[in-house]
């Protein structure tokens, strides 16, 4: 019997019998609050679903939001063992002379990597940032090449860095969409160090400086990430907040004041938590469905997800989503390689597809015996 036909038939019957259209309910969710910014975004961290947006693919100047990538690269090298938090970094004259926000490190002094990280993450120190870049790659210029390589590896295709600090430069740019990719990667890839972004103040050289993210004092749900400001970029803020098991990321760029960027981000965060919810729909370690396999040592192939699938829906609607499996057109014959995609899983709410993921082979399947292959060959002639 044709497995693809049966699958499509079952899905059709399910939609028909359910008689459910979620569109009217979805429309009850109010529009996102009006935000006075050049570009902004609100995203669920786990599902990646964008809940509110404006001009997220427009090229922008990232200012000190750049330091999020600098931190990512340094932590990557720490994780790989290339450098250590205890390394003593000799401060160059270039780092010492950096303008803008500073940690106030002294030229030729030796400062541990961890203290420089606090100076960059909490105080947004340009001097600490350059010192870390030089220590990690030998020079800031070489470090920038690493930043751009990591950006491409993460999928930040509309980004180019020219320095490690976010100092204005005509060839230093990104987009809000790319910044959301970076923020998710920071939280996902370095959970051990992510709590640094919730530190409210840091003291070095007897000088105490407060984290410029005002929301850390205003809402206990908020635990990161980074502020930025230049005259040309305006006031920018990447915020992350967690409520129960749901985490949101908001990005504000081009606001006109420190307070306004904080208020705008808070509006988006409140909107997301109030009107949406996120739940694990299916794990990565269990089959979603089975497919018919020809000429193999077994005739059933379990298909599953490469990563857990989270679904973000309007509140009260998570039980109303439906699933549709679309098998690839090719006839599946052994041998089968684990990890190869053989179908697509579409998650819908009413008529709208809210998530789409490839379904991959969860195991290898070798070719069957000569006799079984011959039998399958004959059967396939009639299909």
**Bridge partners for 106 per DSSP:** none
Which helix (H) or strand (E) is 211 found in, with range? Answer: none
Catalytic position from the list 64, 158, 255, 265: 64
Cβ contacts of residue 258 below 8 Å, gap of 6+?
A: 212, 214, 227, 229, 235
Active site residue 124: yes
Strand ranges of the sheet holding 289-292, from the earlier edge strand across to the other edge: 289-292, 300-304, 352-361, 341-349, 322-327
Count of C-beta atoms within a 10 Å radius of residue 162: 17
Q: How far apart are CA 96 and CA 89, in angstroms?
A: 12
Catalytic position from the list 38, 67, 267, 292: 67
Catalytic position from the list 124, 164, 180, 250: 124
Hunting for tokens 């808070």 — which residue is that?
266
Q: How far apart are CA 202 and CA 310, in angstroms?
A: 36
**Bridge partners for 201 per DSSP:** 210
| DSSP-derived secondary structure for 263-328 | HHHHHHHHHHHHHEEEEEEE-SSS-SEEEE-BSBSSSEEEEE-SS-EEEEEETT-GGG-EEEEEE-
Q: Quick check: 300 and 290 in contact, CB under 8 A? A: yes
Active site residue 82: no
Q: Quick check: 152 and 160 in contact, CB under 8 A? A: no
Question: In a 3-state reduction of DSSP, which class is residue 241?
Answer: strand
Looking from the CA of 174 toward its CB, the CA atoms found within 13 Å total: 31
Active site residue 139: no
Active site members: 64, 67, 124
């Amino acid at each position: 019997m044709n497995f693809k036909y049966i699958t499509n038939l079952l899905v059709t019957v399910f939609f028909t019998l359910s008689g459910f259209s979620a569109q009217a309910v979805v429309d009850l969710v109010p529009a996102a609050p009006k935000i006075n910014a050049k570009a902004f975004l609100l995203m669920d961290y786990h599902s990646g679903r964008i809940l509110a947006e404006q001009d997220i693919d427009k090229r922008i100047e990232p200012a000190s939001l750049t330091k999020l990538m600098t931190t990512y690269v340094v932590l990557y090298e720490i994780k790989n063992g290339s450098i250590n938090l205890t390394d003593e970094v000799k401060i160059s004259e270039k780092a010492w002379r950096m303008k803008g926000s500073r940690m106030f490190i002294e030229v030729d002094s030796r400062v541990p990597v961890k203290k420089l990280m606090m100076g960059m993450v909490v105080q947004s120190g340009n001097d600490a940032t350059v010192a870390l870049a030089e220590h990690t790659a030998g020079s800031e210029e070489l470090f920038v090449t690493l930043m751009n390589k990591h950006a491409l590896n993460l999928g930040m295709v509309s980004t180019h860095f020219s320095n490690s600090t976010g100092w204005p430069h005509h060839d230093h740019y990104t987009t809000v969409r790319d910044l959301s990719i970076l923020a998710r990667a920071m939280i996902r890839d370095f959970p051990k160090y992510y709590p640094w972004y919730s530190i409210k103040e840091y003291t070095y050289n007897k000088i105490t400086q407060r984290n410029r993210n005002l929301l850390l004092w205003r809402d206990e749900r908020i635990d990161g990430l980074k502020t930025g400001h230049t005259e040309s970029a305006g006031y920018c803020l990447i915020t992350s907040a967690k409520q129960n098991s749901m985490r949101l990321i908001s990005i504000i760029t081009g606001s006109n004041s420190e307070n306004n960027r904080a208020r705008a981000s808070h509006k988006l965060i409140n909107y997301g938590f109030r009107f949406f919810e996120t739940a694990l729909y299916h794990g990565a370690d269990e089959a979603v469905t089975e497919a018919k396999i020809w000429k193999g040592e077994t005739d059933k192939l379990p298909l599953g997800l490469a990563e857990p699938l989270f679904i973000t829906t309007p509140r009260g609607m998570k039980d109303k989503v439906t699933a549709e499996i679309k098998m690839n057109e090719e006839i599946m014959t052994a041998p089968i390689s684990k990890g190869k995609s053989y179908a697509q899983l579409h998650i819908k709410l009413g008529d709208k597809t809210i998530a789409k993921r490839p379904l991959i082979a969860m195991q290898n399947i070798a070719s069957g015996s000569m006799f079984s292959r011959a039998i399958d060959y004959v059967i396939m002639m009639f299909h």
